[in-house]
A and B are shown apart, each in its own frame.
Chain A
């Protein structure tokens, strides 16, 4: 069974960084494309009555979100639309103020090598985002374990189905 990226994210955050759970809930109302757009937006200009701190803190949610959606896209082989069509769609969506209607990203069952690759990516990106090494490792492990568990469940289900079929 494929893993929904959001579920995986929520599980890992609840376990490793519970203080960021409100942020995961914040993105619940948006679809994946909208979330990706907000994350890719330029840094906010300094607001007139803002507090004025511009140095970002090391946060787990954005790192995990970006890595996991990337994995989902690469492994699932998402088709790339033509640019003009995408631009047209985007404008139509903005005009009608509707969501993109894209289905939530999912990660299909992965091989051990793929899981190891994801684990490595999570760790590297976390370190690059300023998260300390222990926490980065713990995060990468949590992601890997969840992916492995989901893959294991899949294999078990397949094993259970095969004797029955046979």
Chain B
């Protein structure tokens, strides 16, 4: 990816270049660093204003860590996180060191967490939880604060009277709504949804997904949707990025990615998703990569996916493939991208 797409394209609100997040592995009494877990290893992506970018992958791929780097919960090891401010200036969030510098941007980029139980302080009322960001930033207090919280609760489908209650009075889906209200408290522009529906019951997921879409329309929000459920991602995302062991392997429009993937891992991932139609059982011709997901602390040489890839050649074990633009904003990190015949998702749509 060329440097600074964000400069050239005013539609881009967030760009990530060469992002790396390496966690040291510390051992022994003297706490010596003996290696690194390369949770995020040279990730490049960009998000356009008002769109939903999905970030998918399996456990250990680094999607959650990427989200947390962008929101600056961690300080990245290296790389750029370029953000376009409301007055059209480009700021590199990765370079900001102190909390004071980051403060203004913390209002613009917010996060919705995965676990509805541990993301809300059980000892605080809803008023305190949703009102905390408002109070911390000295935006409002007293009656005005209550009014704002009431409005936020209503927006996410909860009654304003609930603000006196504690989280233990609510179910998982309702708690997630509280988390969404908290994320919206400061009128953000970008919201990172970190596996926000994964912990919910199936019937509640639909409610929350619809809510997220409504809020996006109403407030012009940009979403980075981190998830592992490919059906959910297909439903809600405009573009999707696929990660494997800290690397971005493919990035494309949702429809293109799902119908015509160009990376063998994406193909395997799509093939593995169980389709909710018994007439589509493809057992026998499912593509199952051999072996297990690679260890981010000791990744294979060259292309990380090569030990499990059915198209692997010698080059794949030596040289790491770069992320290339194959046209139409379809980026793939594979030496043979475009030359392989890969299967996407079947065309048959199920009528319930």
Indicate whether A and B interact: no
